[in-house]
Amino acid sequence: MTELRPFGRTGVKVSPLTLGAMNFGARGNSDHADGIRIIHRALDAGINVIDTADAYSQGESETIVGKALADGRRDEVFLATKVHMQIGDNPNHRGNSRRWIIREVENSLRRLQTDHVDLYQIHRPDADTDVDDTLGALTDLVRQGKIRYFGTSCFPPSAIVEGQWIAQRRGRERVVSEQPPYSLLNRGIEREVLPVAQQYGLAVIPWSPLAGGWLSGRYHRGLTEPISLRAARQPGRFDPTLPANAAKLAAVEQLAALAQEAGLSLIHLALAFVLEHPAITSAIIGPRTLEHLESQLGAEKVSLSQDVLDRIDEIVPPGTILNQADAGYQPPSITDPARRRRQGVTPAR
C-alpha cells in the first residue's frame, strides 16, 4: 500500500506520484485504448491523482482520462485539470478572465465525463487579468460544486503571496496548491517558491521531475540533434549543442554515475530526489507508454542517503537552474521589450 501524503491543509490524502496526462492524445500517444491501459495500470499501482489540462492536445487528453474513469473508477481519483492556454483561434479562448474560466470549466467537465473537478489549476499567470477577478470566478465555481479546490502552476513567489493576501482581504476561497517545474537539473524553486508554499501550507505537485527526459537515461555525450518529439518542439530546452544544455548533459553524466553507485536507475534517483524535499507533495510523471510508466513506478519507495544527497548538491548546487529555458514561465517584464524601455523619450544630452 502506497503511503499517502497530505495535500496541503485540505485534509485530502494523495499518492507521492501523480499521473500526468500531457502525453495522451495527438501531442504524444494518440491511441486512446493504450492511454486508458496506462491510466488503469497507474491506479492499480496505487496512484490516486491524475493531472491533465484543457490545452493538452486541445482537449483530447481530458477526453482519454474521462473514458478511463467512466468505468466506475472516478471516485478513486483526485482529478486535476487546468485552464489558461489558448484553445482554438478565438483570442478570448485563453487566459484567466472570469468569462473564459466559467465557460471552459464546462468544456472540461464534459470531456472528463464528471460533474466536478477536484483541483482546477490556473496554468500560468496572466498579467492582463485582475487577480481578484480570477479568484472571484474560481470561488464561485467552488461554491457551485463544480470544483472542490483550485491551484496555480508556474506562479512566482510574489504572485503566490498576492493570491493569498487577496483571498483573505476579499473573502475569496484561497489557492491550495502550486505546480512548478522541479528536477535535479532545475532547482530554482528551492530559493523562494518552496519556502513560500510551506509558509502558507500549500501542496506542491511539481512537473517534469525527469527534466523532460534528460534524466531518463536517453541523453549522453555525442548527441548532435533532438531525440524526441518534445525535444524537436522545444529546441531551447533540448538542443545539445547549446552551452546551457551542454552543462545539463555534463550533470546528467555525473548523476548517472552516482545512481549506478547507489544501485538505482537514473529515473528512480531523479524521482526520489524530488520527493525528498519536505515541501513536495506529489511528483507528476508523464509517461507516453506503459513501459515508461513501469520504469517510474516504485520510485516513491526509494530513500536516498545523506551521502547521496550531498553528492547531488555538489553536482547541481541547491537553487540552481542550469538552463533558464526550463523555468516554465518568464514574465512579460522579461519577454516584452516594450515593458523595459521608455518609448519616445528623448535622451538627455
* Whole-number average pLDDT of the chain: 94
- To which residue does cell 496548491 refer? 177
Provide the grid cell at 208: 517534469
Provide the grid cell at 204: 506542491
pLDDT for 218 equals 82
* Structural domain contains residue 262: no
15: three-class secondary structure by DSSP: coil
Cβ 80 vs Cβ 52: under 8 Å: yes
pLDDT for 163 equals 98
The Cα–Cα gap between 122 and 151 comes to 6
Give per-residue pLDDT as tens, 171-200.
999 999 999 999 999 999 999 999 999 999
* Structural domain contains residue 87: yes
Q: Does residue 46 register a pLDDT over 80?
A: yes
Q: How confident is the model at residue 221 (pLDDT cuts 50, 70, 90)?
A: low
Give per-residue pLDDT as tens, 314-324.
999 999 999 99
pLDDT for 231 equals 61
Average pLDDT over residues 263-287: 98
Virtual CA dihedral for 292, 206, 77, 39, nearest 10 degrees? -10
Instruction: Catalogue the active-site residues.
Output: 56
**φ, ψ (nearest 5 deg) of residue 232:** -65, -35
Neighbour-count burial for 156-181, b at 16+ CB within 10 Å, e otherwise: bbebbeebbebbeeeebbbbbbbbbb
Query: Which CATH number fits the domain that encloses residue 84?
Result: 3.20.20.100
* Structural domain contains residue 251: no
* Structural domain contains residue 308: no
| Nearest Cα to Cα of residue 188 among 328, 300, 314 | 328
* Structural domain contains residue 52: yes
The Cα–Cα gap between 153 and 204 comes to 10
The Cα–Cα gap between 268 and 258 comes to 12
Provide long-range contacts, Cβ within 8 A and 24+ apart, for 307-316. Answer: 308/258, 308/262, 308/269, 309/273, 309/276, 311/258, 312/184, 312/255, 312/258, 312/273, 315/184, 315/251, 315/254, 315/255, 315/258, 316/184, 316/185, 316/187, 316/251, 316/255
The Cα–Cα gap between 37 and 43 comes to 10
Provide the grid cell at 161: 503571496
Q: Does residue 343 register a pLDDT over 80?
A: no
Q: How confident is the model at residue 219 (pLDDT cuts 50, 70, 90)?
A: confident
* Structural domain contains residue 263: no
Run of H or E residues at 248: helix 243-261
Q: Does residue 349 register a pLDDT over 70?
A: no
Give per-residue pLDDT as tens, 101-137.
999 999 999 999 999 999 999 999 999 999 999 999 9
- Asked which of 149-153, 265-269, 308-312, 333-337 is least confident by mean pLDDT, the reply is 333-337
How many separate domains does the chain show?
1
* Structural domain contains residue 324: yes
pLDDT for 236 equals 79
Domain containing residue 94: 5-212+271-303+317-339
Per DSSP, helices labelled H in 32-145 are: 32-44, 60-69, 98-112, 131-144
What single string gives the DSSP state of each residue in 141-172?
HHHHTSEEEEEEES--HHHHHHHHHHHHHHT-
* Structural domain contains residue 311: no
pLDDT for 130 equals 97
Amino acid, res. 190:
E
